[in-house]
Copies of this chain bind each other. A is one copy, B any other.
Amino acid sequence: MARDKEQTKEKIIAAVEQLLAREGFSALGVNALAREAGVDKVLIYRYFDGMPGLLRSYGESANFWPTLNEVVGGDIENLKGKGIGAVVSEVLVNFSRALRKRPLTQEIMAWELVEQNELTAILSELREEWAKKLFATFATEAASTDLDLPAVTALFGAAINYLVIRGRSTPFFNLIEIDNDSGWQRLEAMIHLLCQRSFVSLEP
């Protein structure tokens, strides 16, 4: 059996992801992790200085968050003619779709609501940066509305987060099917409609 430190580290980090995806964060412990990786748990302490350090390493190695490109829909320029309302709703819908494709991210987001640790801290930071960059992308359009843009996007973003997280384990919310596409189509339609009617373009 080859003795390769780097490879063993990678096995451990891979095991974090597998275990998280398969069993959820409540099952994530030193013992279970070592078992999953087929490795002695003492190596987790030696290489990562314990669970928190391991989570930090994992957090830095992974990419849970959708890319900006993914939510902007590929071509920013294309959106510029559409008016701020259409742009915002399109980004929100893209975001919800991107999130729904990422069970691992969902799992960590659920964890985030319940515990603070190195991993959720990293996710929070990433989200912050991400949101800032996104706002920066639309800085000029954002000026052309009388709405409180951070508040509005916080509302819609929070709604999407909640419904996606909740859809993991519950099929309905408020009579809407949140665990499949048919319900999400209704939600998407209302996101578009609410934004379309609410963002009035100011003439400068």
A residues in contact (CB < 8 Å) with B: 26, 110, 112-116, 124, 128, 131, 147-148, 150-163, 165-166, 169-170, 172-176, 178, 186-187, 189-191, 193-194, 197-198, 200
Contact = CB atoms under 8 A, between A and B. Distances in A.
Question: What DSSP secondary structure best describes chain A's contact surface?
Answer: helix
A110 B110 CA distance: 9
Copy number in this complex?
2
Given A112-B166, A152-B190, A154-B178, 13 more contacts: A110-B114, A113-B165, A113-B169, A114-B114, A128-B172, A131-B174, A150-B174, A151-B186, A154-B174, A154-B176, A154-B187, A158-B162, A194-B194
A174 B157 CA distance: 8
Given A158-B163, A197-B197, A151 B116 contact: no
